[in-house]
Amino acid sequence: MPAPRRLPLATLARASGARRRGGKGRLALVTLALTAAVVAAVWYFRFRSSTDDTLPPIDEAVPDASPLAAATPDALPAQDVSAAPEPAPLTFGATLAPDAAAATTAPGPPTGPVLSKPTPPGTPVPEAPAPVPPPAVGPVESDFRPRLPRDVFEAQVALMRDAICPGSIDGAWGGQTRAAVAAFQEKHGLRVTGQLDNATRDALQLQRQPLRHYVVTEEDIARLRPFPKGWLQKSELDSMGYATVLEAIAERTCTNPKQITRLNPQVAWASIKAGTVLVVPDIGRRATPSTRPEYILISLGEKTLRLYDATNNLLAHFPCSIARRVEKRPVGELSVLTVAPNPNYTFNPETFPDSPDAQKVGRKLILQPGPNNPVGIAWIALSAGDGSYGIHGSPEPEQIGRTESSGCFRLANWNAEYLVPLVRAGMLVRVEP
């Protein structure tokens, strides 16, 4: 039997290396296949998630305050606490209609495809129904619970409820809102920073939802009056009422008209009809002082009017317009002479020497009461001059604190109305530079 052939050691080494390399190659192929399977699975589920049409529920939405709105310095967290009390009705102007739409919620998006049976040949195809305009609904929370304000708009609503006015609610962070925040901090014993810091946000907790539904009524439409420019034409009106529904809704809710239109983008305001459902800020009854008001402090430099009690506790804060001419700005201590809610207005052409229309009329006229009366819906006469100097409302609330008056202290109508039952003849009014 021949002896077995012995291979050289170099040949054996090469064969052994080839087997090892073959095993590593198969392992690499298996690893590559598993990796490809995992990547494919990840992309599959990511693709499904990106094509999901589910929308967030309407009660999670926050009103878009652009272009007027500005973000708060930090995110405003929500709190989950006990159920909120029922919202109180607004008290300014005419009584609001019942909240007919408050119990309704907007239908959610479809949860899947809707399949239909194929139409047999020859079956007449019905005409498509006319498109229905979207209902006037917005981010009204049906399951609201007390929480912190989420943005500047909601902070302004909370301030307004506390009789701390940030100007017309517009969702914008500006000088009047900053001054209102500082006043709120003073009122509640917080560190005065003028910023929505954490302690201030905690104190501004919303006890009821910031928005509500409002149904336009026939009475709203019937109350409208034209707003002519001439003094003689104004004197011929039976009342100095609102000129448009938008103006009426904005002023009743202490809100800038632009904010109202942002909350209701689908509404045709020029042709609005009774029965239209609107989304509006829910101000309700503003906080009344727990102590007796003792004096009014007007700051000419800050253009603000504040109400204090006998121990110098701040009770209310409002933006205020002051006289254009320095010589018509009294400084020092005055007193309240009389208080007249919903007054008429006596037009005297001598008061408007630079007005061609006033000089053309050439005689005194009486303008009827109403929110568009030149002195608004309240007149508080002061002991300056001959008694024709005072604190009053205004038909242009967006201009309060931003423009200067002919002489008197102007407030937004809602602030003048708030002040009327709290002041009395003889009350001290201190005017500071």
Task: Report if residue 86 sits inside a domain.
Answer: yes
pLDDT of residue 402: 79
User: For the chain, what is the mean pLDDT?
Assistant: 77
Angle separating helix axes 152-161 and 175-187, nearest 10 degrees = 50
283 shares its domain with 364: no
Reported confidence tier of residue 200, pLDDT bands at 50, 70, 90: very high
Average pLDDT of the residues in 393-401: 94
State the sign of the Cα–Cα–Cα–Cα dihedral 339, 341, 346, 352. positive
Nearby residues of 378 by Cβ (< 8 Å), 6 or more positions away: 339, 340, 341, 342, 343, 391, 392, 393, 411, 413, 416, 417, 419, 420
Check residues 73 and 269 and name the one with the higher pLDDT.
269
Domain final residue pick, 249, 268, 287: 287
Q: In what order do the strands lie in the sheet with 293-299?
A: 314-319, 304-309, 293-299, 428-432, 332-341, 378-382, 390-392, 409-410
223 shares its domain with 97: yes
Domain final residue pick, 238, 254, 287: 287
pLDDT of residue 382: 94
Q: Which of 168, 199, 169, 171 is nearest to 184 (CA)?
A: 199
pLDDT of residue 34: 67
Nearby residues of 8 by Cβ (< 8 Å), 6 or more positions away: none
Residue type, 186: E
72 shares its domain with 206: yes
Task: Report if residue 109 sits inside a domain.
Answer: no
Average pLDDT of the residues in 134-149: 71
Q: Rounded to the nearest 5 degrees, what angle is found at the Cα of 11, between the Cα atoms of 8 and 13?
A: 110
Q: Which of 401, 146, 137 is nearest to 280 (CA)?
A: 137
324 shares its domain with 412: yes
Distance of CA 35 to the CA centre of its chain: 53
Give 339-371 pLDDT, tens digit per residue: 999 999 999 988 888 888 888 898 999 999 999
> Does residue 123 surpass a pLDDT of 70?
no
Give 159-192 pLDDT, tens digit per residue: 999 999 999 999 999 999 999 999 999 999 999 9
89 shares its domain with 205: yes
Give 277-296 pLDDT, tens digit per residue: 999 999 999 999 999 999 99
365 shares its domain with 227: no
282 shares its domain with 419: no
CATH number of the domain enclosing 389: 2.40.440.10
243 shares its domain with 169: yes
Number of domains in the chain: 2
Token pair 């006319």: residue: 130
Task: Report if residue 34 sits inside a domain.
Answer: no
Q: Which of 205, 79, 211 is nearest to 149 (CA)?
A: 205
92 shares its domain with 223: yes
253 shares its domain with 318: no
What is the pTM (predicted TM-score) of this model? 0.69
Domain final residue pick, 287, 305, 320: 287
State the sign of the Cα–Cα–Cα–Cα dihedral 401, 406, 407, 413. negative
204 shares its domain with 347: no
Task: Report if residue 353 sits inside a domain.
Answer: yes
Task: Report if residue 427 sits inside a domain.
Answer: yes
Q: Which of 199, 157, 152, 158 is nearest to 174 (CA)?
A: 152
Task: Report if residue 44 sits inside a domain.
Answer: no
Task: Report if residue 164 sits inside a domain.
Answer: yes
Task: Report if residue 54 sits inside a domain.
Answer: no
Beta bridge partners, 341, equal: 378
Domain that holds residue 366: 293-432
225 shares its domain with 367: no
